[in-house]
Structure 1
Amino acid sequence: MSIAVLLSIKPEFALAIFSGEKKFEFRKAIYRDHSVSKVYVYASAPISKVIGAFYVEEIIERHPKALWRETNHGAGITKEYFNKYFANCEIGYALKVKDADRFEESRDLEQMFGIRHPPQSFRYVTAHV
């Protein structure tokens, strides 16, 4: 059994990941085990389902200004949104998305992982093949 991460992501950003528009998922804090490469995407309300998964090609850790310079070409968000999100942060993280795969049918958290409530930020889960 391998370990994966479940991330809660706003629907508009989750959908942008699977359309290919958003090539980076930004975080103020990140999971400690950087060897985890599979991420399941829980699209928050109103979808409230696991809608797909992607692999992390790279985790980029930088001061927000440097992070924006390196990732703005595939950020999928405006600079204003980025700056507001990372206001007062010394370090920001970007997960570089690879092989994003949207499920044909979205899945319930309980059905897929046996949990009832989505994580505030992330949660370790068992990877499904």
Structure 2
Amino acid sequence: MLSIKPEYVEKILSGEKRYEFRRRVFKRMDVDTIVIYSTSPQQRVVAEVDVVGILESDPIDIWKKTRDKAGISYKAFMAYFDGVDIAYAIELGPVNRYPQPRLLSSYAEVSAPPQSFVYVR
């Protein structure tokens, strides 16, 4: 499960944003689906998305490879990766939007919104 700002969640759901950027990513290699938690003000689990792959490189290289489907401005991207040598871009596949957003409490493994991510199921 990843915590994502509502503005980026909407871009993922619309297909405009095909990459989710992270300063660190999960260590488990078997992660093939991301459960999307939309942060405040929505504070609901809204969808699942398939993981196609993960790119790892310096921020400039990641931007060059993903900018057409980044769903984020260059300025915001660079601000997020300021001071970091390695950036990660999770390539997103098909999205399954839940008909009804779910409460975080419906996931036994999660007691609070993830700071970055948390493993579920």
Partner of 2:37: 42
**SS at 1:106 equivalent:** strand
What TM-score, normalized by structure 2, do the two folds share?
0.96
The equivalent of 2:46 in structure 1 is 51
- In the alignment, which residue of structure 2 is the partner of 1:93? 88
Matched with 2:62 is 67
Residue 34 of structure 1, CA deviation: 2.5
Q: Which amino acid aligns with 2:104?
A: L
Measure, in 2, the Cα distance between the counterparts of 1:30 and 1:77.
Answer: 19
Aligned residues: 120
- Specify every segment of 5 or more residues in structure 2 that has no aligned partner in the other structure, as ranges: none
Q: Given the alignment, which residue of 4, 28, 38 partners 1:9?
A: 4
RMSD, aligned α-carbons: 0.7
Structure 1 gaps of 5+ residues are 1-5
- SS, match of residue 10 in structure 2: helix
What's the TM-score once normalised by structure 1's chain length?
Answer: 0.91
Aligned-residue offset at 1:116? 3.2
- Paired residue for 1:81, among 76, 82, 96? 76
Q: Percent identity?
A: 36
Secondary structure of the structure 2 residue equivalent to 1:26: strand
